[in-house]
Structure 1
Amino acid sequence: MKKIKEIIVVEGKSDTLAIKRSVLADTIETNGSEISIDTLNRIKRAHETRGIIVFTDPDFPGKRIREIISEHVPGCKHAYLEKADAIAKGDKGVGVEHASREAIVDALEHVREELLEVEDELISWEDLMAAGLTGGSDSKHRREVIGRELRLGYMNAKQLHKRLNMFRVTPEEFEQALKALYKNEEE
């Protein structure tokens, strides 16, 4: 089993169990989207000593938790799980706890580090428009494919632009993701 040096920040106990069945790692649980100051301070301390990987559910509360942590602890690493990989059998919700070992390991192998300051943008808004990732009837689906290919999760166009530059996705990586998108559309 792979060992992760960073502490993985998850939402709850069930997520911790899913992480521990997949990799050797320590976790901090936020106990949902109402993150206490004490929890944020523990996350900040963990970030300073070992580093952290934010690994929340691919839903609105998970996104909110991610944003709160990034605001209080800049420079985090993030792992994203595809929603399809996090859906419980029998429609019992979406979450890290429902993901397979393989999906969790894959997400943790494709961690992205957010940069504290973005000096210049590598991918412009015009690049997104030219790729049909904003403003079109199929833009949402196209962003889903790009998010999956780049391991950034799903996001709207503004969030995609921000994440592409925050995580320093290179024009070459972006081009590779677009090739996968075009191949997906041909099928």
Structure 2
Amino acid sequence: MIREMIVVEGKDDTTAIQRAVDADTIETGGSAINKEVIQRIKLAQERRGVIIFTDPDHAGERIRKIISSKVKGCKHAFLTREEASYKDDIGVENASIKAIKTALENVKTEFTDIEEQISWQDLIDAGLIIHSQAAKRREELGKILGIGYCNGKQFYKRCKMFQITKQEFANGLRQIKLKD
């Protein structure tokens, strides 16, 4: 059994998680998260810990940001868009059991009080922002680092939040270059 409570968007996500692992979930009911849900997540964080496991889309990212801003020290599980896609639908409920287990095995812990490791200039120098292939590079590096896909500003925040070291960053960049 997974000790932490897993925060998901809806009932179908809960079903998918429970097919893959033995875990308890809290459903946000979508992106309109009310105060009661936030209170339940805060209580869960205090007692058992929380893993935020939302869809790899705009709405899922919005939910992740809302929860992270109100509940400190959350852990995060990420799926790629490919892992969470079925036809035109993107969601945790579409992921395979293997993809869900892998995402939960590679959970990242959020740290907010640690001095930044990666600089904005590092992202520019790596072509992760202000570059014609920036989005593609961020997607690839996000997979390698296990922090998911996001825009440049959010990528920078995640590198800080998950304490991605300059060494991890450099190793990830080398792997991308090997694929090119």
TM-score (norm 1): 0.94
CA–CA distance in structure 1, aligned partners of residues 15 and 179 of structure 2: 34
Give matches, 1:16-95, under 5 Å.
16-88=14-86, 90-91=87-88, 93-95=89-91
For 1:179, the equivalent position in structure 2 comes to: 174
Aligned: 1:133 with 2:131: no
- CA apart distance, 1:109: 0.8
How does 1:138-177 map onto structure 2 within 5 Å? 138-177=133-172
Q: Report how far residue 183 of structure 1 moved.
A: 1.2
Cα distance per residue 1:103-136 (max 9 Å; x no partner): 0011111111111323x22111111111111111
The 4+ residue runs of structure 1 with deviation greater than 6 A are none
Distance 2:46 2:100 in 1: 24
Give the paired residue count: 180
Matching residue within 90, 93, 98 for 2:94 = 98
Shift of 1:161: 1.1
Match of 1:113 in 2: 109
Query: Which string of whole-angstrom CA distances, capped at 9 and with x for unpartnered residues, describes residues 68-99 of structure 1?
Result: 101110111000110000011x32x1100000
Letter of the aligned partner of 1:170 in structure 2?
T
Structure 2 residues not aligned, in runs of 5+: none
* Matched residue SS, 1:168: coil
Secondary structure at the aligned position of 1:21 is classed as: helix
Structure 2 length-normalised TM: 0.97
Identity of aligned residues (%): 51
The correspondence for 2:117, drawn from 122, 144, 164, is: 122
Aligned-partner residue type, residue 137 of structure 1: S
